[in-house]
Structure 1
């Protein structure tokens, strides 16, 4: 069964159902078609350029052909989560010896950091077995398996292991950051730098709740994302795509706001 056939069947099934909210039905249909088109452009990119990230702080990372979850082509183009990239670059230039990547998915950041920082140990955690397997394969592909350790569920108590480390917590766990990032449960967090995606679209008010927890111990910057992207030097064939296709290529499939909090500890761990 082809991708087009699968999408067509899903679209017909959705549109044929009676709905009290036709706007929501059409919105879901639009998202489905947009994802389909994004995947087609992704396949063209992989065919034309291969799987190496084209720009950004992780440029040169030899990625995979398909992400464990969510959008993929924006990662290959190197514009993924672009508003956060200056802070990623700062982290790469920092003195961290470990990154604790909670919600690592296929390892875009976990392996990307390890590749960019030869002295760094990357600790990658995810509860999805497929994601962990993809991360393991990505580490092997980029020859950093010796510095990428992959684990499963990460609990607040686990932060204590790193309270005396020069470590960066990098967290993207679909709203569960509300339970995990609690300095009352994990006092070590008060001295660790944290970059966390706040899933405001899934848990309204979570951003302010996290700020309230850490504003006494950290300097906090909120990184908002308006969805716009800039490609430094896109491939010639990409420039010939329609404007809609170019937009879909950089779209990250988000359903709502997910600001990032970049939180730098005022008092660092003694290393």
Structure 2
């Protein structure tokens, strides 16, 4: 059986003279790029540069929308009013769409960032606000969400296409949720071990949880973070191990488009 999976990374997050990650190197590895929209990170010139680099490499583009939280890098929980949250998401997607058009490419999906991502995975009110915002600006956009989360069902019921996501360098609880970054062992650093974990995920749909138990995770896209130490090397090891085992790396948007015309 032919196996394929998408590798995505959070990019476009540098701000002025402050540099975050190595977008050019990551874009040679991943098949999809979650590009910051200016609310948690990123400036227009840097975002545009990343979009142009992604287009050159045939990498799919997604809007990495977030809470309005530059100081906290979008990782602080916020109780945002529904009208504000909807408008903020629309604003971010619209801005990225404009920059993408200037770069000669387009936005294909939305992947929320940080605290917004984690909140809407289970908070129905904020989840429905984000879903509504996506539908208002472009109902054809795909929503990337945490594998196993209620958000996937809420979005599908509202008419959005969804893609379930797993994380290469994050530990999982026995319940299949991500271990909080505040807990020891939440972020994994052994590139070889992470690569083997992702091969097992692709082949069997399982990962080993932080307590040693086996958890089933159904995911069509894997996030390899670009902002951690050794991120590029880890992403490269993951890609190499998957390809070596016969797994094809390609954007999930390719598979969705193929299914739609079948």
Structure of greater Rg: 1
Q: Which has the higher contact order (CA 8 A, sep 6+)?
A: 2
**TM-score > 0.5 by shorter chain:** no
- TM bin, normalised by shorter chain, reads 0.3 to 0.5
State TM-score, norm by structure 2: 0.32
